[in-house]
Amino acid sequence: MAHFDVPVLIVGGGGVGLMTSIMLSEYGIDHLLVERHDSTSELPKAHYLNPRTMEIFRQFGIADSIYARGIPLRHMSKVEWRTTLAGDGPFDGKQLFEMECFGAGDSTADYRRNSVCPPTNLPQLRLEPLLLDQAQARNAEAVKFGNELLDFTHDDQGVTASVRHLASGEIHSVRAQYLVGADGGKTIGPMLGINMVGPTKIFETITAHISADLSSWWNEGVIISHFLPSGGRLVPMGPTWGPDSQEWTAHFAVFPGDPVPDDGEIVAKIGELIGTDVDITVKKISHWWAESVLAERYQDGRVFLVGDAAHRLPPTTGLGLNTGIQDVHNLAWKLAAVLRGYAPPGLLDSYGAERQLVGLRNVEWAMFAAQNHLAIDAGFGLIPFPLPAEVEALIVSGFFADGVVGEARRTRFRTIVATQCIEFCAQELEMGYAYANGALVSDGSASATGDPLGQVYQPTTRPGHRLPHAWLEHAGQRLSTHDIAGVEDAVVLITGSRGGAWLAAAAEVAEKLGVNIATVHIGTTHHDADGHWGAVCEIEEDGAILVRPDNHVAWRSLSSDDQPALALAAAVEVVLAR
């Protein structure tokens, strides 16, 4: 029996656990990750990686390798609704609606003004091996697949766990100061008696991972194709992208009361979507339940829940893995600050205070976006379900009919299907999440009303919000405002051309509190490359903004302060819970 003594034990080697390992390694925090499987996920699962998640990958040096394998933007600029992909029938192969999506088409400039990072699409079965390589490259000894956490206890001093090495059956003990439960909700939350609140069996979903040559029919820019009236969706899974994708997933929902199709019937349904004879090789068919649940608490003493362990939601809007990566982005710097000794353990209480509300919003949004597909079905005329085949046929022919009623049907459908922008164009939802309470100092300003449909992202430096991206020039280099925080820095202070007093204050506070404060003096050390920073910073030239390592604003002073060192010290102390 071996014994491991590490600062952090991570349970689970899915995308979120592996990313926790990468972040902790970057912060120089030793840890052990145990994953019961021998290898990463065999299922494609999550594929859409939103701009905020890509910013996080960029911060930790892995975005380029993800973009290199992910889908090029030109192949993910549209989602569409069709009757079938192909076929000879009078209504086969017809496109019903096409929507620009994910800031990959005409809205690219808008997305790119707000973020250095475009989104991408890379299924988990290709992302996780990449994350595993990156985690092992940073700390090969830390990542142990084929090891299962059996049980654990925790108290004021730390966590004691037993882990079984599955190949040998040997049981090892682990002593850690903190435990991160990235186990998808299988182990840690249930052992702590943490309830998941919300419906767990909304509808059963079938995902078939197939290989097929659909290149003759798949449209160049399309990332997701929905089919009406049959109700499934097809998504390319690479590894080559665009129409030449070799692999695909087909998804079908089974609504309560409907019979669950067997594998043969599922293959027949895929054939119906495609609408013509194509060789299909089924790699894997999985059945899973769409849930909409949130952990009643994210922390229990020295144990933290992240990713699917904290929230599980329908895949609409692709918020599952993205929210999980964003959870650990919030937690990792806090663990590092506490373990390095410049913040007390109380800082960690802000993790749940900040992330649980974001989790709640995303769980509710994903459910809302899933339900909206029923509105689209209704907009096509397909409610109530199931309809007799001859009625469905009349609805389809009626949709394409000449005349007043046909035009009315098409107009109604276009009006309703356009509301699915809540899933496919949700820039504000993806990038605008903010914290109201936690490791920050509110400045009392009113929060912007926001776009109710989650589309229009409004950059702001209001405390709790993501620091707006803007290009800066520094020593002949072009940097994003997001590139400033270094792994050794407790916080970053940004000030304007008349903010010299804040720089002196930062040096004084850093010395007094024993923390690194990186400084950016716009107009002197750094220059606003294209005027965008000036447009979004919301402070005067003599104001200051304090930024956390996760690029969320912690505090700001809109202009100068009579006692800048006192004001800054007070802010840093609140932010670091000192």
Which residues here bind ligand FAD, judged by CB under 6 A?
11-17, 34-37, 45-48, 124, 148-149, 182-184, 186-187, 207, 288, 307-308, 315, 318-322, 324
Nearer to ligand FAD, 52 or 556 (CB): 52
Instruction: In angstroms, give the least distance from the CB of 413 to ligand FAD.
Output: 25
Least distance in angstroms from the C-beta of 497 to ligand FAD: 41
> Which residue's CB is nearer to ligand FAD, number 399 or number 433?
433
Considering the complex, what minimum distance in angstroms separates the CB of residue 491 from ligand FAD? 28
Shortest gap between Cβ of 323 and ligand FAD (angstroms)? 7
Closest approach of ligand FAD to the CB of residue 305, in Å: 9
For residue 74, the minimal CB distance to ligand FAD (Å) is 19
Q: Do 122 and 238 form a contact (C-beta atoms < 8 A)?
A: yes
User: Toward ligand FAD, which CB reaches closer, 38 or 488?
Assistant: 38
Q: Which is nearer to ligand FAD, 321 or 434 (CB)?
A: 321
Instruction: Say which DSSP state 552 is in.
Output: B
Q: Which residues contact 457 (CB under 8 A, 6 or more apart)?
A: 114, 427, 428, 430, 431, 432
CA distance 352 to 2: 33
- Distance, in Å, from the CA atom of 520 to the CA atom of 495, rounded to the nearest integer, reads 6
Question: Under 8 Å CB-to-CB from 471, ≥6 apart: which residues?
Answer: 478, 479, 480, 529, 530, 532, 533
The amino acid that residue 516 corresponds to is: N
Is 13 or 432 the residue whose CB approaches ligand FAD more closely?
A: 13
Instruction: State which residue, 123 or 564, has the beta carbon closest to ligand FAD.
Output: 123
Distance separating alpha carbons of residues 22 and 396, to the nearest angstrom: 51
Q: How far is the CB of 18 from ligand FAD (least distance, A)?
A: 8
- Which residues in 90-121 are b (16+ Cβ under 10 Å) and which e? eebbeebbbbbbbbbbebeeebebbbbbbbbb
> What's the closest the beta carbon of residue 159 comes to ligand FAD, in angstroms?
14
Nearer to ligand FAD, 14 or 459 (CB): 14
Q: How far is 234 from 365, CA to CA, in rounded Å?
A: 22
Nearer to ligand FAD, 242 or 359 (CB): 359
Q: How far is CA 542 from CA 354, 473, 481, 490, 493, in A?
A: 29, 20, 18, 22, 12
Decide if 472 contacts 116 (C-beta within 8 A): no
CB of 318 to ligand FAD, least distance (A): 3
Is-cis flag, bond preceding 229, omega within 30? yes
Angle subtended by helix axes 404-417 and 389-399, to nearest 10: 100
Residue among 470, 374, 362, 471 at smallest CA distance from 426? 362
Nearest to 84 by CA among 257, 187, 226: 226
Q: Which is nearer to ligand FAD, 319 or 576 (CB)?
A: 319
